[in-house]
Structure 1
Amino acid sequence: MATTVDDTLAQARAALHEVVPRLVDLLRSAPDAGAASVGAWTVGDVAAHLSHVFRFDTDAIAGKPVPDAVVTPAGMAEVNTKMLVEDGERDPAALADRIGMLADEFDEIASRSRAETVDWLDGARLPASAVACHLLEECLIHGHDLAEATGRPWPVRRDHALLAVEGGVLPLITALPSAAFLDEKKAASFRGRFEMRLRGGGRTVMVFDRGSLTLEPAGVRLVDAYVSADPWALMLLFIGRQGIVEQLLGGKVAAWGLQPWKLARMLTVLSPP
């Protein structure tokens, strides 16, 4: 039986019900808001940013205005910096309380959503399920960032990571301009076709063509490489939290085909916002 948008939204809400309390507990146990986390961000910065994502994803589901943002790496860096400057809260416990309340608000609004699509950042029209899965993705990734910074474990269920990719990342790639996900200079000369086989999930072909990124059904045309990946490992790889060698040696990712070496080049071309 095919999965419907309503099914995906229900699955995303159920995943958030499990993930958010763990995230809140992780924040409440953080000893130092100023500890380095990811890039130039501290633990407090990551927590504040995550609360901002909860706010604008909730507003999107509710049909309210969302931030005026261009979804590119530079554009999102600008809007994220602006939000962090305007929000002085960095206390992990206070932000844990804020995220808990926002999560309840999101779930309540999502439970009543009947809109086929909603307005999201950069003029994208998305199913409510894709917004929920985007929020799940942000919780999983930034939960990882916070756990790394505080020395705590952050286990991620495969079905949660799969839902974040198939229900969130792939619809975003379809809805947004290619510039949202690519380093334009590096992508300008790159061509490649990769069949992504998500373990426990489906197959999708990612097509890179001199600055564009599109998705196609699997099995229609030849590809340069086949990539079998654990969904969580793929998320960490694509977002730059772990390297390809580590994932290949650990068996979390495997590549084969006519030109499997292109996978390494593809990873340099990707630049998620």
Structure 2
Amino acid sequence: MTIELSQWHAVRAAFSEVGGRFADAVENAPDPHARAIGDWSVVETAAHVGWIALVYTAMVKGDGGPLPLPLPELEEPIASANIETVGAMNDIAMTAYPERDPHRLAERLRADIAEVLRASSDYDPEKPIWWLGGSRVPVAGLLAHLVNEMSIHGQDIARASGTPWRIDPAHVGMFLELFFVGMVRNDVGRLLDYAKPSPRRIAVEFRSDYTAPVVMVLHNGGLRVTEPDGTADARLTFDPAVLVPMMFGRISPLRAVLSGKVRVGGRRPWRLMEFLRTVHMP
């Protein structure tokens, strides 16, 4: 897959637009200490997004390897991360990034978004960026990851505040196509090291109106991307604005399927569950 210039412009525009909406939602929340998601309040949820944006101001300037971060406490946890250790890394980050004032959180986020856009303005969108666990993500995917974080957590904050929030399927589709598929095409690093490798080959086809169709193949602990040829075990047809929140626990799989916006087919659709036990979001 080649990342087109139009996709680069689109993810940069989404990065700015969703970032602005997210910052506004934080700044205007009627109760900054209302519960937003899990044990996190509105401002704690904003701080989670804030530390990621701050770290990305450094990551985006790297040359594909580990580099000093503005939160040095995170250098080792990020370098050694796999999907199962992300929660512990988040705990460290929430202590290392202590800001909880909603106005300062919004101001810092806007500044960090602007810095990421400035630093990457002349980049090839496929430039590999060093990410968690030694994985490599195209720079367009790095931006798409934060767009997704702000989209999902913006909804958490909006629900806590009783205000509307729309997750744009095109925006979260970028997360799947530019970040997730982009990382698998480059290098997943140690992110799947927690899983026991299975000799069973499982191929899952992903199709939506917002992403190019691809097949993910899980085999012997490795993950790779191939083109669809009609032989995948399972076929997932989806609306990204339903599938992605489902992947992050905001919508139950049953509700997603009953909505008709996540459909499972293929020759051996039951193998999708085995695939998702290994390839899942933290």
Structure 2 contact 134–190 (Cα < 8 Å) conserved? no
Structure 2 contact 34–160 (Cα < 8 Å) conserved? yes
Structure 1 contact 38–145 (Cα < 8 Å) conserved? yes
| Aligned-residue offset at 1:253 | 0.8
CA 1:157–1:25 in 2, change beyond 3 Å: closer, same or farther? same
Structure 1 contact 72–272 (Cα < 8 Å) conserved? no
Secondary structure of 1:180 counterpart: coil
| % identical aligned pairs | 28
Equivalent residue number for residue 236 of structure 2? 227
CA 1:244–1:254 in 2, change beyond 3 Å: closer, same or farther? same
Equivalent residue number for residue 93 of structure 2? 83
Residue 253 (structure 1) aligned with residue 256 (structure 2): no
For 1:114 and 1:225, locate their aligned partners in 2 and report how far apart those are by CA, in whole Å.
34
User: Which stretch shows the higher mean deviation, 260-269 or 167-176?
Assistant: 260-269
For 1:173 and 1:35, locate their aligned partners in 2 and report how far apart those are by CA, in whole Å.
37
Residue 65 (structure 1) aligned with residue 76 (structure 2): no
Equivalent residue number for residue 165 of structure 1? 176
User: Which stretch shows the higher mean deviation, 257-266 or 98-107?
Assistant: 257-266
Equivalent residue number for residue 200 of structure 1? 210
Secondary structure of 1:62 counterpart: coil
| Aligned-residue offset at 1:179 | 5.6
| Aligned-residue offset at 1:19 | 1.0
CA 1:227–1:271 in 2, change beyond 3 Å: closer, same or farther? closer
Structure 1: segments with no counterpart, 5+ residues: none
Secondary structure of 1:184 counterpart: coil
For 1:93 and 1:255, locate their aligned partners in 2 and report how far apart those are by CA, in whole Å.
43
Correspondence list, 1:16-165, <5 A: 16-63=15-62, 65-66=68-69, 67-68=75-76, 69=78, 70-113=80-123, 116-165=127-176
TM-score under structure 1 length normalisation: 0.86
Structure 2 contact 23–110 (Cα < 8 Å) conserved? yes
For 1:267 and 1:166, locate their aligned partners in 2 and report how far apart those are by CA, in whole Å.
17
For 1:199 and 1:108, locate their aligned partners in 2 and report how far apart those are by CA, in whole Å.
31
CA RMSD of aligned residues (A): 2.6
Equivalent residue number for residue 215 of structure 1? 225
User: Which stretch shows the higher mean deviation, 196-205 or 3-12?
Assistant: 3-12
For 2:234 and 2:208, locate their aligned partners in 1 and report how far apart those are by CA, in whole Å.
14
Structure 1 contact 48–89 (Cα < 8 Å) conserved? yes
For 1:135 and 1:77, locate their aligned partners in 2 and report how far apart those are by CA, in whole Å.
17
Q: State the aligned residue count.
A: 270
Structure 2: segments with no counterpart, 5+ residues: 70-74
The residue identity in structure 1 corresponding to 2:12 is R
| Aligned-residue offset at 1:265 | 4.5
Equivalent residue number for residue 72 of structure 2? none
| Aligned-residue offset at 1:241 | 2.0
The residue identity in structure 1 corresponding to 2:93 is M
Equivalent residue number for residue 239 of structure 1? 248
| Aligned-residue offset at 1:196 | 0.8
For 2:8 and 2:133, locate their aligned partners in 1 and report how far apart those are by CA, in whole Å.
22
CA 1:178–1:39 in 2, change beyond 3 Å: closer, same or farther? farther
For 1:270 and 1:3, locate their aligned partners in 2 and report how far apart those are by CA, in whole Å.
23
